[in-house]
Each structure stands twice: as C-alpha cells, then as structure tokens.
Amino acid sequence: MALLQVSDLTVSYGRVTALSGLSLTLEEGQIFTVLGANGAGKSTLLRAILGAVPARAGSVAFAGADVTRMPPHERVARGIVLVPEGRRILISLTVEENLRLGAHLRNDQPAIRREMDAIYDRFSNLAQRRHMLASCLSGGEQQMLAIGRAMMARPRLMMLDEPSLGLAPLFVSKVFDLIRELNRDGLSVLLVEQNAGKALAVAHRATVLELGRATMTGDPKLLAADPRLQEAYLGEGAKAPAA
C-alpha cells in the first residue's frame, strides 16, 4: 500500500483552476520530487495534501485512510507535515519556542524533550542559539529551524516547499544532505524545488507539473536526461545528476 495516494485531484481558487485531475503515488520511504514553473500548482498540491485548501474533486489517501475531508490538524496528527514556502517561522519567538510549537499536538513531554535534544545534536547552530529570538538566525539557520519544527510533529511524510530558495550555496547543500539523512532514518519526503538538478539527484521518483497537470512522471535519472526537462528546468549545459 502506498503511503500517499493523490487521485484525480482538482483544486480551484475562485475561477482559477490550480490543479486539474492530478494523481501521484508516493511509497513509504521514498523521496518524491515535484518540479514545475512558477504558477504550475506545486504549492497548491502541498496545501491540498495538508488540507489547507479544499479539494474540488478527487481524493487524498494517507496510510490507507481517506483524508480528503479532514482538517489539517487531523492530518498532522496522522503524520503529514508541511515546511511551507518562505519558512514561516515565528521570528518574535525563541528557537526553542519555535520547536515546541511543532509539538503542539503532542503531550508526551519526555519524548518531546528527547527529540528536541536530538534536533540540537543535529543542528549545533540551533543548540547554541536556543534561547535567542529566531530573528537572529541566518536564512539557512531559519530553514533548519523550520525543518526541525516540522520534525517535532513526529511526521511520517514531510512536505517541503522550495526549501533551498534564497539560501547561500553552503546551506543549499546542507538542506539536501539533511533531506537525505532524514529519509535514511525512515522519513518519506515530498519535495517541491526550483533547484531541479539537486532535487532530482536525491529523489526516488519525480514528476513535472505544468498548469496543474503532471506532464512527465518517473525515474528522476530518466527525467534529468530528458531534453525537454533539461531545457526548461536544468538550464543550458546543466549536467544530469550522477547515476
């Protein structure tokens, strides 16, 4: 059974149809990358899986349950989290308060403490700044905090909306290393990215969205080698990820 099954999903904002009849299947343990130009519907897809925008037609099933009509907090409780575009951490709160917010649906305090310590072990920058306001963090550190906060919900599926956008190259690599590591520890990942080369290189499966439809889906290595995709997303002279 797939962990996530999106079937014929249609989402509209008033008269604008952002997704039309989109289907995708994510198996447990996979990293699934979604590419697409501005306005293709990538963020809408993630919001609809979380339940932040309603499905007009079609369905979303997670871990065998139909969650299409469930409110976001119930989906989070079942193991779906979203690290949104632009990170959206609360800059007037401390690093630690931000992490605690990620666990707001849980009340197993000892486990929360243990996991927070595990996040501090993983991110020494956050550990050193745990009692500082999040506004003191660099963009890359804020992204790490956003991912750490999402981990505090103890997800089975983490959705990331353009996590490398606007980051310095060093942090871009760190974000992709982190996604790989979390996945190795068992987390399934749905990744929306502009950085097509890196996002295809970490993925087990990928799809390209155009105007709310999937135009190419499959093995990321094959997609990376596809001339149409190279032209549109990898830029001239860009190299396909190493096999």
Residue 92's binding partner out of Mg ion, ligand ATP, none, with CB under 5 to 8 Å set by partner kind: none
Residue 75's binding partner out of Mg ion, ligand ATP, none, with CB under 5 to 8 Å set by partner kind: none
The residue among 74 and 85 lying less far from ligand ATP, judged by its C-beta, is 85
x/- track of binding to Mg ion for residues 17-56 (CB under 5 A): -------------------------xx-------------
The residue among 43 and 68 lying less far from ligand ATP, judged by its C-beta, is 43
The residue among 94 and 194 lying less far from Mg ion, judged by its C-beta, is 194
Which residues contact ligand ATP (rule: CB under 6 A)? 13, 16, 18, 36, 38-44, 85
Residue whose token pair is 């929360």: 112
Q: What minimum distance in Å lies between the beta carbon of 44 and Mg ion? A: 8
The residue among 126 and 206 lying less far from ligand ATP, judged by its C-beta, is 206
Residue 5's binding partner out of Mg ion, ligand ATP, none, with CB under 5 to 8 Å set by partner kind: none
The residue among 33 and 156 lying less far from Mg ion, judged by its C-beta, is 33
Q: What minimum distance in Å lies between the beta carbon of 21 and Mg ion? A: 19
Q: What minimum distance in Å lies between the beta carbon of 172 and Mg ion? A: 17
Residue 80's binding partner out of Mg ion, ligand ATP, none, with CB under 5 to 8 Å set by partner kind: none
The residue among 11 and 95 lying less far from ligand ATP, judged by its C-beta, is 11
Three-state SS for the chain is CCCEEEEEEEEEECCEEEEEEEEEEECCCCEEEEEECCCCCHHHHHHHHHCCCCCCEEEEEECCEECCCCCHHHHHHHCEEEECCCCCCCCCCEHHHHHHHHCCCCCCHHHHHHHHHHHHHHCHHHHHCCCCEHHHCCHHHHHHHHHHHHHCCCCCEEEEECCCCCCCHHHHHHHHHHHHHHHHCCCEEEEECCCHHHHHHHCCEEEEEECCEEEEEECHHHHHHCHHHHHHHHCCCCCCCCC
Residues lying near Mg ion in the complex (CB under 5 A) are found at: 42-43
